[in-house]
Structure 1
Amino acid sequence: MSRCHKVAYIISMKTMDTKLPTHTKEPHTCKVCGSEFSTKRNLERHIFTHTGEKPYSCQVCGLAFSQNAHLKTHQFTHSGEKPYSCEICGLAFSRKAHVKRHMVTHTGEKPYSCQVCGSGFFRKAQVESHMSTHTGEKPYSCQFCGSGFTSKSQVNNHMFTHTGEKPYSCQVCGKIFSQKTSLKYHTFKHTGETPYSCNVCGLSFSHNSILKRHMTKHTGENPYSCDVCGSTFPLKSLLKKHMFIHTGEKPHSCQVCGSSFSQKAHLKRHMFTHSGEKPYSCEVCGLEYSTKAQVKSHMLTHTGEKPHSCNVCNKIFSHKTSLKYHMFKHTGETPYSCEVCSSSFSHKTSLQYHMFKHTGEKPYSCDVCGLAFLNNSHLKRHMSKHIGEKPFSCEVCGSEFSQKSNLKTHMITHTGEKPHSCQVCGSTFSHKISLKYHMFKHTGKTPYSCEKCGLTFSHEMSLTAHRSTHTDENTKQTCHENKKKELAEIYQDFPKEEP
């Protein structure tokens, strides 16, 4: 046998010796749980799960781990190193397992499914968490407030609400977050990345939750239903927010004025009233707003778009809320009632302004002359007297107006239109206020009363004129004698409407 053949033979025998034990030796068994391992080293590493021992510690932050491999992976959080990357989109990750998990966003594969409802999931842990929606089980609880959660990670995230800790910071703008996922979604604002795409229409989104909500437009699926009123929702989070309507719970409170809100987004929007911040602006005219929804609503004034139409009279509206309030005219519904005098209103804002009559509050004041008003629109109208601005002009005669509503009212003088009709006698009127006062003839209602003598009037301007007759010497008798004279003078100047 040549020398080369001898060397090859020795190497092959040594290789055989090293492999033989794995085939001939008995497996290493854990005496605690009975799990079996091919090597003694794997068994020793497994024992740490029972003893809780963590012999490997990070020299930077002091965190301890049961396995050296876990420590090495943890070190990437300090170094920022991401050695594993996706072959399709190039995204880098600190763990190989994260790359494998990320790949399903490209393949769409959901290998784990719920045995109850058949829903598919990317990860096994998601299935386990999902099962709680069927069982109602919440095995993990907060040691401070007792709130229950379906997973341990949810408890860990919840704890930040008690500690106020925000360990995750943006490297671009410095903004800090309590949740790692919040930071992840925030960075998309800087990068413009929208990694979650719809398989149906191709639209892409920065949040997976937004994609899920979008997908319901295609599927029409609303799997989460309210046990109280039966309303259905595409997302569990939307159902949770909806439940506050029934419970009246408002867990989010303002630290400045104490106002509480049912949703965190509403509190955030409210804070702008204290800070005066208006981070969203119109790209056309530059007007600034405190919420993105306000900008979207404002844009309809430029486009002229009116996507919402009434099923009864086919009148179209720019905003869904305008259509909602318009429908009350057909149904006669007045869902907002005053607790003081039982008056009811179709608009929530109308009730709010009405309440000021009871409280005497005038929260909107002029910075120039100090006059106070019940609502913001009255203040804006008043301000035009100081600045002299009249941005709305009539295309027929060129008359200018400070308010768009005044221009709309003026246009009736050219068209002769009388859109407001009396349901009792059929008389028609150009202005809604004229119809309102006309209805008092039928009902006999005199809602405006003098606080000094008790006389009542059907017109607010009649009451205003009457108040000027009061002096210390005036009596109720004088008031009654002057009432007919006052009303005659007022109605003489009041615009007359032909039936």
Structure 2
Amino acid sequence: MENYTETNCVKNLSSISSSKSNMTPDVREKPYSCEVCGSSFSHKSSMLNHLRTHTEGKPYSCGVCGSFFSQKSNLLQHMRVHSGDKPYSCEECGTSFSHKSTMVTHMRTHTGEKPYSCEICSRSFTLKSALSKHVRTHTEEKPFSCEICDRSFTIKQNMVIHMRTHTGEKPYSCEVCGSSFTIKQNMKNHMRTHTGEKPYCCEVCGSSFRENSTMLKHMRTHTGEKPYSCEVCGSRFSDKSNMLKHRRTHMKEKPYSCEVCGSSFKMKQHMLRHLQMHTGEKPYSCEVCGSSFSQKATMSRHMQIHSGEKPYSCEICGSSFLRKSNMMTHMRTHTGEKSHS
């Protein structure tokens, strides 16, 4: 493209002005045109400011950090980064902002205004950027790609978070125990294990939860909603993780392997239980006699010895038993079944 300077463009303004009187009323409203891209402007100063986007003219520089700007107003806005000046205040809550546009956007949290609507599904959004992200859920556009594994993402922030799986970066740290996290929200959720805070409350039964996602899962116990379905048999589940576990019963997939003996398992918790056979770890202890167990279920069964609980009952004579296997053996005295021949 031919290079244009502000001087060349200003020289042409006189010819534009001389023909101004012959213009129609509609054209007369924007008599100043950019010779580079054809954009029209109502005022000469606006056209000159626009021209700098083509000539790369940035005559205004920041004395603090050296950044350059094409317009004086942009420099003044930038200077607030250094001064901390926030001249725009919200009339509702008093929050202050350095830019008027940011304050206007914030006001929508009070008014509920959502001026940006999706033409496909009519969902509305407070921010134009939020609408742009949403539209990609319809178009399936994924403009942000990982340079290492070529995975693509609809949102730039998701790509940035994904990159940390390659770099191992965990920029968010817990001030109490030092645990590090790749995502800021995960760090906030973790902090609640120290503070005991449970800000998410079920409106039905009053149960409280540390994370919003956990509360939403809990709500399905009241609504009966099961949004996740198995593609093979159609079984439905209230939790996505349970649906994924179920799918492995069809595919016979065993993605979790023991590093010691190579045994494979469908579920992670089964593999962790198996590992205790190699380590000899017994993390579950009986509060009555101190006996230790590798599995919580085994410890719970042991506790029935102290409590005298016998949860398994014979449907015929009502006899109770500590173990299910003992009850099944007893049932044969009624049926006459002989387990060994």
> Is TM > 0.5 for Structure 1 vs Structure 2?
yes
* Residue 198 of structure 1: aligned partner: none
**Contact 2:58-2:70 at 8 Å conserved across structures:** no
Whole-angstrom distance in 2 between the partners of 1:320 and 1:220: 27
3-state SS in 1 of match to 2:35: helix
Match of 2:58 in 1: 105
Partner of 2:339: none
SS in 1 for 2:177: coil
Aligned-partner Cα distance in 1 for 2:284–2:103: 42
Offset, 1:301? 2.4
Counterpart for residue 64 of structure 1: 27
> Per the alignment, in what secondary structure is the counterpart of residue 398 of structure 1?
coil
1:75-474 equivalences under 5 Å are 76=35, 98-99=50-51, 105-108=58-61, 122-123=71-72, 216=81, 219=82, 221=84, 223=86, 235-254=99-118, 259-401=123-265, 411=275, 414-415=278-279
Could you tell me how far 1:386 is from its partner in structure 2? 3.4
Give the paired residue count: 292
Q: Is the 8 A contact 1:280 1:291 kept in 2?
A: yes
Q: CA deviation at 1:108?
A: 0.8
Q: Secondary structure at the match of 1:55?
A: helix
Q: Aligned to 1:328, what secondary structure does the other structure show?
A: helix
Q: Tell me, in whole angstroms, the C-alpha distance in 2 between the residues paired with 1:292 and 1:124.
A: 29
Q: Which runs of 5+ in 2 are unaligned?
A: 1-13, 40-45, 64-68, 305-310, 328-341
Is the alpha carbon distance of 1:105 and 1:257 closer, same or farther for their aligned partners in structure 2, counting shifts above 3 Å? same
Q: 2:144·2:154 contact (CA, 8 Å) conserved in 1?
A: yes
Residue 489 of structure 1: which of 312, 324, 331 is its match? 324
Q: What does residue range 27-66 of structure 1 map to in structure 2 within 5 Å?
A: 55-57=21-23, 63-65=26-28
Structure 1 residues 429, 393: CA separation in 2 closer, same or farther (over 3 Å shift)? Answer: same
Write the letter of the residue equivalent to 1:398.
Answer: G
Contact persistence 1:391–1:402 (CA under 8 A): yes
TM-score by length of 1: 0.44
Distance 2:111 2:47 in 1: 43
When residues 109 and 355 of structure 1 are mapped into structure 2, their CA distance, relative to the original with a 3 A threshold, is closer
User: Do the aligned partners of 2:60 and 2:70 also contact (CA within 8 Å) in 1?
Assistant: no
How far 1:309 sits from its partner (Å)?
Answer: 1.6
Match of 2:10 in 1: none
Measured in 1, the distance between the counterparts of 2:109 and 2:323 equals 52
- Whether the 8 Å CA contact 1:251–1:262 is kept in 2: the answer is yes
Which has more radius of gyration?
A: 1
Query: Is the CA contact 1:420–1:429 (under 8 Å) kept in the aligned structure 2?
Result: yes
AA in 2 matched with 1:74: S
Structure 1 residues 363 and 335, CA, compared in 2 at 3 Å: closer, same or farther?
Answer: same
Residues 405 and 234 of structure 1: CA distance in aligned 2, closer, same or farther (over 3 Å): farther
Of structures 1 and 2, the one scoring higher in RCO (CA 8 A, sep 6+) is 2
CA gap 1:404/1:296 in 2 versus in 1, 3 angstroms:
farther
Change (3 A) 1:412 1:373: same
Distance 2:108 2:270 in 1: 40
- The CA deviation at 1:291 is 2.2
CA distance in 1 between counterparts of 2:244 and 2:291 reads 34
Which consecutive unaligned segments of at least 5 residues does structure 1 have? 1-41, 81-93, 111-119, 131-211, 442-461, 470-477, 493-499
Residues 179-238 of structure 1, C-alpha deviations (whole Å, 9 max, x = no match): xxxxxxxxxxxxxxxxxxxxxxxxxxxxxxxxx59x94xx48373666666766665545
SS in 1 for 2:157: helix
2:166 match: secondary structure: helix
- Distance, in Å, in 2 between the alignment partners of 1:99 and 1:233 is 30
Distance 1:427 1:257 in 2: 60
- Mean Cα displacement is larger for which, 101-110 or 360-369? 101-110
Cα displacement (A) at 1:75:
7.2
Distance 1:420 1:389, change over 3 A: same
CA contact 2:146–2:163 (8 Å) conserved in 1: yes
352 and 77 in structure 1: CA distance in 2 versus 1, 3 angstrom threshold = same
**Is the 1:253–1:267 contact (alpha carbons within 8 Å) kept by the matching residues of 2?**
yes
Partner amino acid, structure 2, of 1:321: Q
Alpha-carbon distance between aligned partners in 2 of 1:316 and 1:304, rounded to the nearest angstrom: 11
Contact 1:280 1:288 in 2 (8 A): yes
Contact 2:201 2:207 (8 Å CA) reproduced = yes
Contact 2:52 2:58 in 1 (8 A): no
Q: What's 1:74 paired with? A: 33
Q: Determine if contact 1:222/1:235 at 8 Å carries over to the other structure.
A: no
Look up the match of 2:331.
Answer: none
Alignment CA distance shift 1:400-1:368 (3 Å):
same
Counterpart amino acid of 1:358?
H
1:471-482 equivalence runs, <5 A? none
The Cα shift of 1:350 comes to 1.0
When residues 228 and 327 of structure 1 are mapped into structure 2, their CA distance, relative to the original with a 3 A threshold, is farther
Q: Secondary structure at the match of 1:64?
A: helix
CA distance in 1, matches of 2:160, 2:284: 32
Deviations 1:150-182 (A, max 9, x none): xxxxxxxxxxxxxxxxxxxxxxxxxxxxxxxxx
Report the Cα distance in structure 2 between the residues aligned to 1:246 and 1:103, rounded to whole angstroms: 40
